[in-house]
Structure 1
């Protein structure tokens, strides 16, 4: 694969022309069209996660979904995405990022249609799992395509645009979900939250074929299918019994499955270590965990994902099922939180972290704990009579805290990672966060639904939801306290990377989507395991 396979070059090799060839101008126009297409796809994925939570009560009323089905509507997507993220990126390296992007966005669109026309909870859960799997093919290609299309000196501008998309997705997801649910378009109730992806996906598929230029890693390694199978098996053995355990009375096989999942992960470690020695193409680069800051960072991402996975689902259930609010009222209640996240994220990266380093992230964890304690107090004081403005202060405090964490976290963790492994490390960090999110959604059955109970009379159910919400917040506060302590293992001051350079990182995902670091994973596949980008010189050896 030569550079001409990805972008038109200036004058042909061997000529004396000092100026770029005329075809450069059309290439410039094409790459900005390509950027708009992949950013739209990224926005569609960002919104799709948050838009579902707000529609859960409507889905429950219409389909009769059980508590377990509710969990799997969200956890199934997160699990499929986490399990397929690294695999999707590697497939893009091997078979072409444009090809995998088009397959992913096409499959995502089909899965969205299946979700929108689901006739029962089981079909909806299966369609959501398919949707998460297709997102795992689509999302990793987004910034890999950007990385292959734009020169290093322009990537800072591009990453800034991506940050704007992240903030917009955080604010618009819950609100758009609320509006679509409240409008009840064509009598379809909650279904338009999925069907809205159809015209966007079809347009992305058609325009992507025309404007996106194909690229792949010149030295892409073989796909580690055994590693993929072990990761997926271990996650399912851990999360499936955790999600269904309470409903089934915590059977013995569930405990055995969760215990055996640890054995599967141990086998994965042994296998990946051996594969690295045999052919240098493991799915997971284990040597990265020898870096203290990286090892601590993966723990932070895992536990942060658990906290967010618990909070955002129980918060939605509390607002709509516990307080009886409409989807629109619940959606607008979250706006102060999302705005606070976006504002704090920008300030933390540009002003605070360069001066105070790790302390900014730790302050963010403490602020989130403070916001949770305020929320617990407000919920207990006002009960079912609480109003949105009485929630504003706790949500703003929590949002500021989250913004201080999500934006600089990945760059802080990567500061001690060798340059040649920065892409692979980014993907691993995001994968651990997604695993944490899925684990947190599974734990909802323990910390929330276990407190609600199954057979309460309707008049007592709302009060039970309010009490269960308060108990869940204590769990989240405890997890964030652990995060604060683990952050002491992070470097005091992260190394500064050149803007737009090879080690530059991108804004992280913020807001109510429980996915604060996914943006980093998009870059990861392009450079994992030392693969050279088609836009960068290939290093010898």
Structure 2
């Protein structure tokens, strides 16, 4: 393994290793997977390296969510239609998801540190391009490039943590990673609004991208100094055909999920998703053949025989389907249904942030070693309790709900999120061979992205499918009192009242069916709605009807969200009961006696 002069003081040379190996018990080198003395000194710069990795993870997660909140400001500033903003958001997610598996394997082949630096550099330059964009197409292109380099960068983070830390320390490192990821997502939701509204330095929405520049530069300066290079111990070749099959299959599956509602769920979308199955099946068959040909598949299929890996992926997928539904559902409810500003909606998410921080900081270090998978199950229970509390609050307070009414629900969901999100990455790859750490990390992140995409698609079906009906019902419930107020306050005749109420109902129903929240349907220009006397009355009733109808749709979404978390809870039963986080003294230590317990991860 090549070692730079900067790393030399803290890394033993291969000659030294060979000399010591002659009379020292051997284990597995956490850097290369090759035999090395179990007494080898740990990398003294590993905690500084972790700091750099966590900052990169925070930057990626922040950028993935902050743009969602600031989307209205971006659309106003850059111009273009609603489709432009959709591509600013979807383009990032799509390119990110498609690059994750390839990015992970590139790290195994060419060196995780090297590929990580390439990812950081590309992400930083793409952020600069997004911040300086003058035309909509420039912003969309920059976001897609940004997502692609994030897909190269992110898999290296889990892989480097996996190969840099000993088993005893790895739990703490992964706990920090899980906590940072969750907090970054929540901070993104909370910071997007203020950054766009405050217009700091006159940069408006551009600051949400330009803020990555100094962070990226610092990462490029310090990462080479503190991160030790690692790669697969045996020379691997890039599986080009596997890359093509995986990319095409995932594109056929994920793109229709991300764009389904905006495109009106066209038939070709369902055909594409159906055809993705044989394409991905062909990918699996090719991986089997590739293993037989040269042992260099894009994904090592043997990983799926590891119980903690396969069962952990199942939990990860189900959990992030639910979280995707929750994040998108409550954001739409607050900003569109209640008309809250991005800043207020973001600040309302602070209890989620606090809850995630409190539990993720101790879940992996303290709780999982003692209670095993019960920690995940407890997290699922707390999350469900939060969803039920949110459901009650939305129904009880209706359109008059306040941020304070949502403190407890958001806190509970955040607490549950931290208990699950922090341990999951460590659990999924705890027993993965070091040589496949990058590839496994790519699979984990792709799995999570797929979950988010499915969750978003379910929101389109569950939330929006019933919205028009809920709006009509809410207005029908108002009808009797509305008619009285139009006569008393607006002094309309009975005939004018009938025409006004009918036009008002049609306008409200048509408006919620628009894909672009800012679009005004033609029915809203009806002559009956132009009365200056009726307008104030209708505005008050419209606000109440919108809040009520969105609350009902959110309640339906929360029921489904709770059901998905229940599925995740049941899948958790397949995870080994206990995760032994410290490697045994001898390499041939016997596996756990309990049939429900997996063998310990082989780490020195």
TM-score bracket for this pair, using the shorter chain length: 0.7 to 0.9
Aligned counterpart, 1:7 = 8
Aligned counterpart, 2:581 = 496
1:152-163 aligned within 5 A = 162=177
Aligned counterpart, 1:332 = 347
Aligned counterpart, 2:112 = 97
Q: 1:290 aligns with which of 293, 305, 312?
A: 305
Deviation at 1:162, TM superposition (A): 4.7
Number of matched pairs: 496
Higher relative contact order (CA 8 A, sep 6+): 1
| Structure 2 gaps, min length 5 | 21-41, 468-511, 515-520, 525-538, 588-600
- The 1:226/1:343 distance shift into structure 2, 3 A limit, reads same
Residues 276-307 of structure 1: CA distance to partner in whole angstroms, max 9, x if unpaired?
12111111122232344433322221122221
Aligned counterpart, 1:505 = none
Matched, 1:275 2:290: yes
Deviation at 1:434, TM superposition (A): 2.0
CA–CA separation in structure 2 for the residues paired with 1:362 and 1:148: 28
CA–CA separation in structure 1 for the residues paired with 2:448 and 2:14: 46
CA–CA separation in structure 2 for the residues paired with 1:351 and 1:427: 27
Matched, 1:453 2:454: no
Aligned counterpart, 2:453 = 438
Deviation at 1:261, TM superposition (A): 0.9
CA–CA separation in structure 1 for the residues paired with 2:572 and 2:179: 27
- The 1:414/1:109 distance shift into structure 2, 3 A limit, reads closer
Deviation at 1:154, TM superposition (A): 6.8
CA contact (8 A) 1:243 1:445 kept: no
- The 1:239/1:443 distance shift into structure 2, 3 A limit, reads farther
Deviation at 1:448, TM superposition (A): 3.4
Local SS of the residue matching 1:494: coil
Aligned counterpart, 2:495 = none
Q: 1:477 aligns with which of 540, 557, 562?
A: 562
Residues 439-464 of structure 1: CA distance to partner in whole angstroms, max 9, x if unpaired?
32344433334434114859466655
Matched, 1:487 2:588: no
- The 1:480/1:154 distance shift into structure 2, 3 A limit, reads closer
Deviation at 1:48, TM superposition (A): 1.7
TM-score by length of 2: 0.71
CA–CA separation in structure 1 for the residues paired with 2:75 and 2:252: 27
Local SS of the residue matching 1:332: helix
Matched, 1:345 2:346: no
1:98-137 aligned within 5 A = 98-119=113-134, 122-137=137-152
Deviation at 1:326, TM superposition (A): 2.2
* Bigger Cα displacement from structure 2, 299-308 vs 258-267: 299-308
CA contact (8 A) 2:167 2:581 kept: no
- The 1:12/1:241 distance shift into structure 2, 3 A limit, reads closer
Residues 238-266 of structure 1: CA distance to partner in whole angstroms, max 9, x if unpaired?
23233333444433322211111111111
Aligned counterpart, 2:337 = 322
CA contact (8 A) 1:75 1:441 kept: no
1:88-237 aligned within 5 A = 88-119=103-134, 122-142=137-157, 144=159, 162=177, 165-166=180-181, 169=184, 172-208=187-223, 214-237=229-252
CA–CA separation in structure 1 for the residues paired with 2:187 and 2:399: 27
Larger Rg: 1 or 2?
Answer: 2
CA contact (8 A) 1:79 1:435 kept: no
CA contact (8 A) 1:57 1:320 kept: no
Deviation at 1:134, TM superposition (A): 0.5
* Bigger Cα displacement from structure 2, 481-490 vs 94-103: 94-103
| Structure 1 gaps, min length 5 | 19-26, 503-526, 537-541
CA–CA separation in structure 2 for the residues paired with 1:146 and 1:492: 24
CA–CA separation in structure 1 for the residues paired with 2:47 and 2:433: 32
* Bigger Cα displacement from structure 2, 132-141 vs 414-423: 414-423
- The 1:122/1:366 distance shift into structure 2, 3 A limit, reads farther
Q: 1:358 aligns with which of 355, 373, 376?
A: 373
Deviation at 1:222, TM superposition (A): 0.9
Matched, 1:240 2:255: yes
TM-score by length of 1: 0.79
- The 1:231/1:82 distance shift into structure 2, 3 A limit, reads same
CA–CA separation in structure 2 for the residues paired with 1:245 and 1:158: 38
- The 1:417/1:197 distance shift into structure 2, 3 A limit, reads closer
Local SS of the residue matching 2:104: helix
Local SS of the residue matching 2:580: coil
Give the alignment's Cα RMSD to 1 decimal.
Answer: 3.8
- The 1:238/1:68 distance shift into structure 2, 3 A limit, reads farther
CA–CA separation in structure 1 for the residues paired with 2:226 and 2:435: 30
Residues 326-346 of structure 1: CA distance to partner in whole angstroms, max 9, x if unpaired?
222222211111111121223
Matched, 1:468 2:553: yes
CA–CA separation in structure 2 for the residues paired with 1:14 and 1:284: 33
Residues 363-422 of structure 1: CA distance to partner in whole angstroms, max 9, x if unpaired?
322321221122122112222221111001111121122222122234444567678767
CA contact (8 A) 2:168 2:582 kept: no
Local SS of the residue matching 2:205: coil
CA contact (8 A) 1:59 1:65 kept: no
Residues 500-534 of structure 1: CA distance to partner in whole angstroms, max 9, x if unpaired?
x99xxxxxxxxxxxxxxxxxxxxxxxx9xx9xx9x
CA–CA separation in structure 2 for the residues paired with 1:293 and 1:127: 37
- The 1:70/1:442 distance shift into structure 2, 3 A limit, reads farther
Matched, 1:250 2:310: no
Aligned counterpart, 1:24 = none
- The 1:469/1:62 distance shift into structure 2, 3 A limit, reads farther
CA–CA separation in structure 2 for the residues paired with 1:313 and 1:361: 23
Deviation at 1:76, TM superposition (A): 3.2
CA–CA separation in structure 1 for the residues paired with 2:293 and 2:387: 49
